[in-house]
Amino acid sequence: MSAEIKILLNELKTLNADLYGKDFLLTWEKSDAELRAVLAIAELLKGIHAKNIPLDMFKTGLAVSNFRDNSTRTRFSFASACNLLGLAVQDLDEGKSQIAHGETVRETANMISFLTEAIGIRDDMFIGKGHTYMKEVAEALDDGFKQGVLNQRPAVVNLQCDLDHPTQSMSDLLFIKNHFGGFDMLKGKKIAMTWAYSPSYGKPLSVPQGVICLMTRFGMNVELAYPEGYDLLPETIEVAKKNAQDSGGSFNVSNSMKSAFKNADIVYPKSWAPYKVMERRTALLEDGDHPGLKELEKECLAQNARHTDWECDEAKMKLSKDGRGLYLHCLPADITDVSCKQGEVSAKVFEKYRIGTYKEAGYKPFVIAAMIAACTKKHPAKVIETLYTSGLKRVL
């Protein structure tokens, strides 16, 4: 057994974490031990997979993929995570299901779960809707399992909602942990979570919200920066403040991208829509007000256009710690003169850090697999150790 695998297994065994039979919806609902356990499992799975050892801890079972918004990285990460664990993946296409005929959430949740071990849901576009929907699915599964409808209670994993994007922020965290040499090295590090210009509108708030709420858990100095009017949901700001106070880190809000970048160890420039705009958009969509939606888009694009200087370029990167701050992005980034005429990041800056952002994204399949394993296995360390020491090879 390699020293690294042994250390991670011992850490996992000693953590006072119990996620069995639970869901993974919001990072701020989880204890420090539970977060550490998921991160340790993710590192174990990544390391063992690299050693060509199979990790199919489920010999049968289904994973249901319910994407109510478009996705590339998270969709494929969920599929590959489930396949890694031995689960078959089935997409829930709501347009091809009886949902279109009025089937209730309670009924759908049970009908897709007879032999299902995990349900991944992305529902991120509507303020006040996504997280609520996930909780409704979870409550229906609780009832189905209690009443004997289901042999097992599937774990629900949040693949992005209106509040949080836990699989993304946890992947970001593992990437920077390994970049800086350990969780202990993150305390006191400054991360700038900033708005950045985009030629589109309506981007979800869950990435910046997830970042400020998770990084403050680890004693980091988090500065959130955005132009006036681009506020995040107030409840997530309060979570970040409390986390910073509890961890010994700090949390500040400014309206200056340059201020946020100054002496930052990490920068995370990412566009999002103001939460008040997303509230208006949700109401217009519910009313089927298409002219209103077009007018809102026109208004928001004009508002964005007033802030084209909020671009991550070489000059701003020089403001970061020693001029060599780490650039992060959840992808896809709006790259100036590449994917758009003017966007979030200059082509030179993005190309310099491109491989890093790909590696950052590469943690996501293992984070998702770790969430599923932690929520469905009573003793995940024992299960993983048994697979590791089996002597089997994934590819002969």
**pLDDT above 90 for 80:** yes
**pLDDT above 90 for 97:** no
Q: For the domain that residue 154 is a member of, what is the CATH number?
A: 3.40.50.1370
**pLDDT above 70 for 135:** yes
pLDDT value for 99? 75
- What is the per-residue pLDDT across 2-28, written as a single tens digit (0 to 9) for each? 999 999 999 999 998 999 999 999 999
pLDDT value for 35? 98
Distance, CA of 186 to CA of 195 (rounded, Å): 22
| One domain for residues 221 and 75 | no
- When pLDDT is averaged across residues 178-203 and rounded to a whole number, the result is 96
Query: Domain limits at 260?
Result: 168-345
| One domain for residues 147 and 172 | no
Q: Which residues of 331-362 are buried (b: 16+ CB within 10 A; e: fewer)?
A: eebbbbeeeeeebbbbeebbeebbeebeebbe
In a domain, residue 302? The reply is: yes
The distance of Cα 361 from the centroid of its chain, to the nearest Å, equals: 10
**pLDDT above 70 for 163:** yes
pLDDT value for 201? 85
Does the reported pTM lie above 0.85?
A: yes
Cβ proximity of 225 and 259 under 8 Å: yes
Distance, CA of 231 to CA of 227 (rounded, Å): 8
**pLDDT above 90 for 101:** no
| One domain for residues 246 and 277 | yes
**pLDDT above 70 for 232:** yes
Distance, CA of 118 to CA of 109 (rounded, Å): 11
Distance, CA of 294 to CA of 288 (rounded, Å): 12
Q: Provide the domain count of the chain.
A: 2
In a domain, residue 393? The reply is: no
Which long-range contacts does 331-336 make (Cβ < 8 Å, 24+ apart)? 331/73, 331/357, 331/361, 332/72, 333/357, 334/196, 334/197, 334/198, 334/199, 334/200, 334/271, 336/311
Cβ proximity of 190 and 150 under 8 Å: no
In a domain, residue 33? The reply is: yes
Distance, CA of 223 to CA of 136 (rounded, Å): 34
- What is the per-residue pLDDT across 253-280, written as a single tens digit (0 to 9) for each? 999 999 999 999 999 999 999 999 999 9
- What is the per-residue pLDDT across 21-74, written as a single tens digit (0 to 9) for each? 999 999 999 999 999 999 999 999 999 999 999 999 999 999 999 998 889 999
Q: What Å distances lie between residue 239 and 74, 186, 288, CA to CA?
A: 25, 19, 33
**pLDDT above 80 for 337:** yes
| One domain for residues 272 and 314 | yes
- When pLDDT is averaged across residues 352-362 and rounded to a whole number, the result is 98
| One domain for residues 233 and 96 | no
| One domain for residues 201 and 109 | no
pLDDT value for 143? 98
| One domain for residues 31 and 179 | no
- When pLDDT is averaged across residues 168-185 and rounded to a whole number, the result is 97
In a domain, residue 357? The reply is: no
| One domain for residues 264 and 376 | no
Tokens at 298, concatenated: 């026109």
In a domain, residue 394? The reply is: no
- When pLDDT is averaged across residues 144-165 and rounded to a whole number, the result is 98
| One domain for residues 229 and 92 | no
| One domain for residues 179 and 309 | yes
| One domain for residues 158 and 181 | no
In a domain, residue 359? The reply is: no
- What is the per-residue pLDDT across 111-128, written as a single tens digit (0 to 9) for each? 999 999 999 999 998 899
Angle, CA of 55, 57 and 62, to the nearest 5°: 115
Q: What single-letter DSSP state applies at residue 307? A: T
Within 8 A by CB and 6+ apart from 30, the residues are 19, 24, 38
Cβ proximity of 113 and 367 under 8 Å: no
Distance, CA of 368 to CA of 38 (rounded, Å): 9
| One domain for residues 216 and 70 | no
In a domain, residue 37? The reply is: yes
pLDDT value for 100? 66
In a domain, residue 35? The reply is: yes
